[in-house]
């Protein structure tokens, strides 16, 4: 089996693929102290042909396993291209950063825009908001579609934005209206980033944030483009890393 590990700021994702590049093993772990030890424990009995790491913690895995690494940008471009060969723009919303990637023929990239300055425009902010509003994260997008009022979340800083949410709760604003405002503010930031590098069809949305149905819907409206998501959007970085390892072994590309 060919494995990819994506150690992000919030979650560690592990994907295993077979000879036909089918995903046959998936694991998501909270990123805690010493995530390399978690990965070692999970993979200890697995039949591993190759292992490639990506994400914030990729060099930790490189040192622990003596394996190659690739950038998150390359991993997401490669993963999205596999499922959508005509993709030309990838938007990735991670735990503490967001990226817009211009993808070329063959699944490479020639430009990208990344926001890692503040968690207010990232998946972590969605998690915080869902927790504050006491809505299960996997239901948050559908719940916020019930909104009957658009509330502007103006703060560009996660700390101040959280204070805004607390203030709105104190004013007894409906949770769905607050949630809609939060998701809309993230969609605005993502759309602004995407427009700065002129997104092309087809647009693929990856990362844990892509599982939020309202965010996907709002992003599509703001970009005036259809947004596609793979079956496992959160796993695209790890999957792209696994594909890279497969290609290294098989001689498909020259890394």
Domains and CATH numbers, the chain: 1-84+233-255 (3.30.420.40), 87-229 (3.30.420.40)
CB atoms within 10 A of CB 38: 19
Across 60-64, 79-83, 123-127, least confident range? 123-127
- Sequence-distant (6+) residues with CB within 8 A of 5 are 12, 13, 14, 39, 51, 52, 53, 54, 55, 58, 61, 238, 241
Over the stretch 45-54, which tens digit does the pLDDT of each residue have? 999 999 999 9
Instruction: Tell me the average pLDDT across 13-30.
Output: 95
Instruction: Evaluate if residue 140 carries a pLDDT over 50.
Output: yes
CA distance 92 to 90: 6
Instruction: Evaluate if residue 176 carries a pLDDT over 90.
Output: yes
Helix 175-196 × helix 158-170 angle, to 10°? 150
Closest CA to 150 of 177, 169, 176: 177
- Per DSSP bridges, beta strands 203-206 and 89-93 are parallel
At 221, give phi and psi (nearest 5°). Answer: -65, -40
CA distance 195 to 84: 21
Instruction: Evaluate if residue 41 carries a pLDDT over 80.
Output: yes
DSSP 104: P
pTM over 0.95? The answer is no
Q: Is 7 helix (H, G, I), strand (E, B) or coil?
A: strand
For residue 80, the model assigns a pLDDT of: 95
* Separation of CA 34 from chain center: 21
Helix 72-83 × helix 236-250 angle, to 10°? 90
For residue 121, the model assigns a pLDDT of: 62
Q: Is 15 helix (H, G, I), strand (E, B) or coil?
A: strand
Instruction: Evaluate if residue 224 carries a pLDDT over 90.
Output: yes
- Sequence-distant (6+) residues with CB within 8 A of 149 are 173, 174, 177, 180
Over the stretch 206-216, which tens digit does the pLDDT of each residue have? 998 899 999 99
> What residue has token string 């093993």?
25
Q: Which two tokens stand for residue 154?
A: 């103006």
Q: Which two tokens stand for residue 102?
A: 């211009």
Instruction: Tell me the average pLDDT across 33-45.
Output: 93
For residue 255, the model assigns a pLDDT of: 42
For residue 120, the model assigns a pLDDT of: 57
For residue 155, the model assigns a pLDDT of: 66
Could you tell me the strand order of the sheet in which 11-17 lies?
23-30, 11-17, 2-7, 50-55
Over the stretch 107-131, which tens digit does the pLDDT of each residue have? 889 889 887 555 556 777 888 889 8
């Amino acid at each position: 089996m060919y494995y990819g590990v994506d150690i992000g700021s919030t979650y560690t994702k592990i994907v295993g693929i077979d000879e036909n590049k089918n995903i046959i093993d998936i694991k998501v772990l909270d990123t805690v102290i010493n995530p390399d030890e978690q990965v070692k424990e999970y993979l200890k009995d697995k039949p591993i042909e190759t292992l490639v790491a990506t994400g914030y913690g990729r060099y930790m895995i490189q040192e622990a396993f003596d394996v190659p690494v690739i950038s998150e940008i390359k991993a997401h471009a490669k993963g999205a291209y596999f499922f959508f060969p005509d993709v030309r723009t990838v938007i990735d919303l991670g735990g503490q950063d967001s990226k817009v990637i211009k993808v070329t023929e063959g699944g490479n990239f020639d430009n990208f825009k990344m926001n890692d300055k503040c968690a207010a425009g990232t998946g972590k902010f969605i998690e915080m908001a869902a927790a504050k509003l006491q809505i299960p994260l996997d239901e948050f997008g559908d719940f916020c579609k019930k909104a009957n009022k658009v509330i502007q979340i103006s703060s560009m800083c996660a700390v101040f934005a959280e204070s805004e949410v607390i203030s709105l709760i104190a004013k007894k604003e409906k949770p769905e209206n607050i949630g809609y405002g939060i998701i809309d503010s993230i969609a605005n930031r993502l759309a602004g980033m995407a427009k700065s590098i002129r997104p092309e069809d087809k647009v693929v949305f990856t990362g844990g944030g892509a599982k939020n149905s309202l965010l996907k819907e709002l992003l599509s409206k703001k970009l005036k483009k259809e947004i596609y998501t793979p079956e496992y959007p959160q796993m695209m970085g790890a999957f792209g890393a696994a594909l890279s390892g497969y290609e290294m072994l098989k001689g498909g590309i020259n890394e």
